[in-house]
């Protein structure tokens, strides 16, 4: 046994090379708009750390432009392969199942250029990639590890008003992947239970691995300096949303709560600033200006600031500048934004759904809210502002319990378990013959 990052890590044999499948979104894309979000961050961070441990990683994603190189380096030891599958353009997710055959052929061709055994393991992300993953697993004779990130049955049970339910095709596709995968990675014990209860996954095939946060990047800083960079007054009361603009993420809840705060006189209008940082995504693309129109109709367009998505130090400035970050999602498999904000010393007010009760320590690093009523959220935001100093200290302490190094170590241990189970199954099948 060995100890690293405060956790026990089993001694194990590292895979030499892992094929990571991310069909519908590339880790090279900017999180916060389109289909790019927490999954992109997850793949980037874990792939980079796997490479630092000596594991070569190749990420397969669909080429959305003819200008993209066939292969790009994400980081030393991490390659991104752009596979031609369908037109060179961004496609809606409902159009992507038609490109599965072409994408699978491209993935298999890449492996066929090498000697057999080139990849030791396949890790697929999201159900579309899982469909490709179990075909590659069968062709290459290696284990398939799958991360769902979101589940159709869970999303459909918690739809925002007016949002479009996930199609039956996706539910069937997810079930196929669950049945075929050698190991399923869940972000939280809640998600693990959903895989078992809703999809019939064997409990011993599901492993919980919490995502992490880049603690070197996201850290406390000078709120005054961050506000100066963003052009926000030093004495402002700043309530921030960061994420993709779509009904599922519910940025409208923050806007309605802000209007309620002003109606109550709980905060002076002259000081309130509500940054909304992100771009349209998912069903939000159908009405890309809906949030701006809502701000106008609520009479708060003067306090709301719409900003494009940001990354790196620019995103850190957004978190450091905020008094509170709101995460009002109707469903969230984990909630990386919540962790990143807390690591910067900013309390989070979040919906008590999905993995957010893990990402946010209620009453210690932030507050959890049941439901999405504007009056309830307004009260929670006031409570967070009143106890900000205590929550800010707890936010940093809570976030330091999560790191991408710990996540990657747990993934590697899971890879070793999957490889051992795969070899045992092969041996049992040979003996049976």
212 labelled ligand-binding: no
24 labelled ligand-binding: yes
244 labelled ligand-binding: yes
Nearest Cα to Cα of residue 154 among 208, 212, 197? 197
Q: Which two tokens stand for residue 10?
A: 């089993």
332 labelled ligand-binding: yes
Residue identified by tokens 């239970």 is 193
340 labelled ligand-binding: yes
Q: How many residues does the chain have?
A: 433
Dihedral angle of Cα 142, 148, 149, 151, to the nearest 10 degrees: 180
β-strand pairing of 206-208 with 237-242? unpaired
170 labelled ligand-binding: yes
263 labelled ligand-binding: no
Helices and strands: H and E segment counts in the chain: 15, 16
Write out the H or E segment, with its range, that includes residue 8.
Answer: strand 7-9
Report helix angle 251-264 to 290-298, nearest 10. 10
d(Cα 62, Cα 117) in Å, to the nearest integer?
Answer: 24
Count CB atoms within 10 A of the CB of residue 225.
13
d(Cα 353, Cα 358) in Å, to the nearest integer?
Answer: 10
39 labelled ligand-binding: yes
Sign of the four-CA dihedral 156, 373, 35, 148: negative
322 labelled ligand-binding: yes
43 and 27 Cβ atoms separated by less than 8 Å: yes
d(Cα 195, Cα 181) in Å, to the nearest integer?
Answer: 12
310 labelled ligand-binding: yes
40 labelled ligand-binding: yes
319 labelled ligand-binding: yes
Which string of b and e fits 88-110 if b means at least 16 CB within 10 Å? eeebebeebbebbeebbebbeeb
DSSP state of 29: S
165 labelled ligand-binding: no
DSSP state of 333: S
Nearest Cα to Cα of residue 425 among 81, 182, 63? 182
Binding annotation for 1D-myo-inositol 3-phosphate: 24, 35-40, 93, 126, 150, 170
**Residues placed in the known binding site for Mg(2+):** 319, 322, 346
Per the annotation, binding residues for UDP-N-acetyl-alpha-D-glucosamine are: 30-31, 38, 244, 249, 310, 332, 340
Query: Residues comprising the binding site?
Result: 24, 30-31, 35-40, 93, 126, 150, 170, 244, 249, 310, 319, 322, 332, 340, 346
């Amino acid at each position: 046994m060995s100890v690293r990052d405060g956790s026990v890590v089993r001694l194990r044999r590292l895979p030499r090379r892992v094929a990571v499948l991310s069909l519908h979104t590339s880790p090279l894309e900017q999180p916060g708009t389109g289909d790019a979000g927490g999954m992109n961050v997850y793949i980037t961070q874990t792939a980079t750390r796997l490479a630092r441990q000596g594991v070569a990683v190749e990420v397969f994603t669909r080429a959305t432009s003819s200008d993209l190189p066939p292969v790009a380096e994400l980081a030393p030891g991490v390659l991104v392969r752009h596979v031609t599958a369908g037109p060179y353009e961004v496609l809606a997710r409902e159009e992507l199942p038609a490109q599965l055959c072409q994408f699978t052929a491209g993935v298999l061709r890449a492996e066929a250029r090498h000697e057999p055994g080139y990849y030791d393991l396949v890790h697929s992300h999201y159900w579309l990639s899982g469909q490709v993953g179990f075909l590659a697993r069968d062709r290459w004779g290696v284990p398939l590890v799958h991360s769902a990130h979101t589940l159709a049955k869970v999303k459909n049970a918690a739809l925002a008003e007016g949002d479009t339910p996930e199609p039956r095709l996706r539910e069937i596709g997810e079930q196929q992947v669950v049945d075929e995968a050698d190991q399923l990675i869940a972000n939280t014990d809640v998600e693990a239970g959903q895989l078992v209860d809703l999809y019939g996954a064997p409990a011993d095939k599901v492993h919980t691995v919490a995502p992490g946060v880049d603690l070197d990047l996201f850290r406390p800083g000078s709120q005054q300096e961050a506000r100066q960079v963003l052009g926000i007054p030093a004495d402002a009361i700043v309530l921030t949303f960061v994420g993709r603009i779509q009904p599922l993420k519910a940025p409208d809840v923050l806007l309605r709560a802000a209007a309620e705060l002003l109606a109550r006189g709980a905060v002076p209008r002259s000081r309130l600033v509500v940054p909304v940082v992100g771009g349209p995504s998912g069903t939000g693309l159908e009405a890309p200006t809906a949030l701006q129109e809502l701000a106008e109709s609520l009479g708060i367009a003067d306090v709301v600031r719409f900003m494009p998505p940001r990354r790196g130090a620019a995103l850190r400035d957004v978190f450091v500048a905020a008094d509170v970050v709101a995460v009002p999602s109707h469903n969230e498999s984990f909630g990386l934004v919540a962790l990143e904000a807390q690591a910067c010393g900013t309390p989070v007010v979040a919906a008590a759904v999905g993995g957010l009760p893990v990402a946010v320590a209620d009453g210690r690093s932030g507050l959890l809210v049941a439901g999405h009523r504007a009056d309830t959220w307004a009260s929670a935001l006031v409570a967070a502002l009143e106890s900000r100093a205590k929550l800010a200290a707890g936010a940093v302490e809570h976030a330091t319990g999560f790191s991408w190094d710990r996540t990657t170590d747990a993934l590697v241990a899971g890879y070793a378990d999957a490889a051992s189970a795969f070899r045992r199954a092969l041996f049992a099948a040979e003996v049976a013959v």
